[in-house]
Amino acid sequence: MDRIPADLSPADLSPARILIVDDEPALREGLAETVSDLGHRPVLAASGAEALARVAADPAIAAVLLDLRMPGDLDGMAVLQRLRAGPHPPPVAVLTAFASAENTIEAMRLGAYDHLTKPVGRAELAGLLGGMLAVSAAAAPGAPSPAGAASLIGSSEAMRRVQKAVGLAADSDATVLLQGETGTGKEVAARALHAHGRRRAGPFVPVNCAAIPADLLESELFGHLRGAFTGATQDRPGAFREANGGTLFLDEIGDMPPSMQAKILRALQERVVTPVGGRPAPVDVRVVAATHRDLPRLVAEGGFRQDLFYRLNVVPITLPPLRERLADILPLAEHFLCASGAGQKRLGPEAAAALMRHSWPGNVRELRNVIERAAVLARGAVIGSADLGLSEAASEPGAALPAWLDGDLPGAVARLEEAMIRRALRESSGNRARAAKSLGIQRQLLYAKIERYGLRDADLSENPTGDVGNPDGRSID
């Protein structure tokens, strides 16, 4: 969906009716106050059923701010699905304090304008409403939630962008080109595109173009008839036809030999494949390609066909390297540790510090291997830095650790938390709304932690809620 031009602000738009859906009265009222301050008229709903009724009764509602978690049978995702299935759906922004890869992808797939993590500050809300009101809401039929989905773990901003792109592209048949360094999770993203899309009931067929000898790749992709060449003892359908009705994942397509590139181009253009020794056959398949190579550079050097690059690069999605998503390292490590079946084993503070210091040239794949190895080799219940087997000097036992890493893990986490809250309060000049936003937590939770660590007198200013006018001091989000 198009976004508002950079030079257009909400003030340039006519006042509009904005539906605010949240089961928490204080959050509804706080958002309503900010919406009013921005020159619009808020309409409030305390439940999913009430929201649907208000939209049905009031065609003038121009945009919806929708909480994800609500009690009852109609949570935010169900409301979004029903709203987008209507004849003239307003743009919907999903707001949640519990963002995950799954709910981000699903919200975008179902047609959400955006998916934001609470708390949402005044400036961010102004930009959001400006964009929502600057576009026309086109009808987009909803679809049932997937029974299961590949998981793109991560809450960093880089991964949130990937999750949103996957959600927007999931239901399309457009070819997707996944780019990124080796080990960044391109196949995981491809499986997420399939699992969240309308083809999820069909097969997902992966083919590693770099792992198959050039003389066998044509047969692997397009199939062959018995007797077509020496060793062809029986008919084979090939990956394109095996993926019929589903998704074909062409991994490492940048390593495909030039002789095959022309044949792949024709298959993508015409959706017809010709088995070796056989006749052309139509296929209904969605193609997702991936590469760690720099395809534009390969095109310039003559190593990759320009027309094939343009055919593949319809929807480009770039997977960030792990060194650019530090916030995801420990959640990923915990996920891999749980998946390893290691029982009660857990990461110690020195191991966590070593993981954060490591440069991860092998990206997520390297992290998974490190954790799986440590889960096997660690003799105690707590995995130490020595159990990780990382070669960097900074990750070796005895290397200097930050002061907050002394002691046990709960104590280290508490000290890190206190330090981060102090810094956020200093950088926001004591403005608790901005501090909570920068920390990615709700304002009520920040208040509780301020009390816990005794920070009220040390770090707060006289202007605690300058971002949002809310006299009761509670979060509007």
Q: What are phi and psi of 286, to 5 degrees?
A: -100, 130
Confidence of residue 135 (pLDDT cuts 50, 70, 90): low
Query: How many other β-carbons are positioned within 10 Å of the β-carbon of residue 453?
Result: 17
All CATH 3.40.50.300 domain ranges of the chain, comma separated, are 157-318
In 244-378, beta strands by DSSP E: 247-251, 272-273, 281-282, 286-291, 315-318, 346-347
Domain with CATH 3.40.50.2300 in the chain: 10-133
Q: How confident is the model at residue 1, as a pLDDT?
A: 39
Residue with tokens 């990956």: 239
Residue spans in the chain of domains classed CATH 1.10.8.60:
323-401
- For 27, 161, 437, 462, 463, the CA distances from 431, given in Å and listed in that order, are 18, 28, 10, 8, 6
At 301-336, the pLDDT tens digits run 999 999 999 999 999 999 999 999 988 888 899 889
Is the pLDDT reported for residue 400 higher than 50? no
CATH code assigned to 323-401: 1.10.8.60
Residue type, 186: K
More confident residue, 203 or 88: 203
The CATH number of the structural domain formed by 10-133 is: 3.40.50.2300
Q: Are strands 247-251 and 204-208 parallel, antiparallel or unpaired?
A: parallel
Which part of the chain is CATH 1.10.10.60? 409-459
The rounded distance, in Å, linking the Cα atoms of 175 and 314 is 6
| Topology (CATH level 3) of domain 157-318 | Rossmann fold (3.40.50)
pLDDT of residue 30: 87
CATH of 409-459, one of 3.40.50.150, 1.10.10.60, 3.40.640.10, 3.90.1150.10: 1.10.10.60
Mean of per-residue pLDDT scores for the chain: 82
Q: Above 60 in pLDDT, residue 139? A: no
pTM of the model: 0.66
Are the CB atoms for 282 and 272 separated by under 8 Å? yes
Strands 272-273 vs 281-282: parallel, antiparallel or unpaired = antiparallel
Most confident of the following: 49-53, 174-178, 389-393 = 174-178
| Whole-number pLDDT of residue 192 | 94
The pLDDT tens digits for 78-126 are 999 999 887 788 999 999 888 888 889 999 988 899 998 887 888 888 8
CA separation, residue 415 to residues 410, 452, 453, 455, 457 (Å): 9, 12, 9, 13, 18
pLDDT category, 362, cuts 50, 70, 90?
Answer: very high
Q: Which helix (H) or strand (E) holds 222?
A: helix 214-222
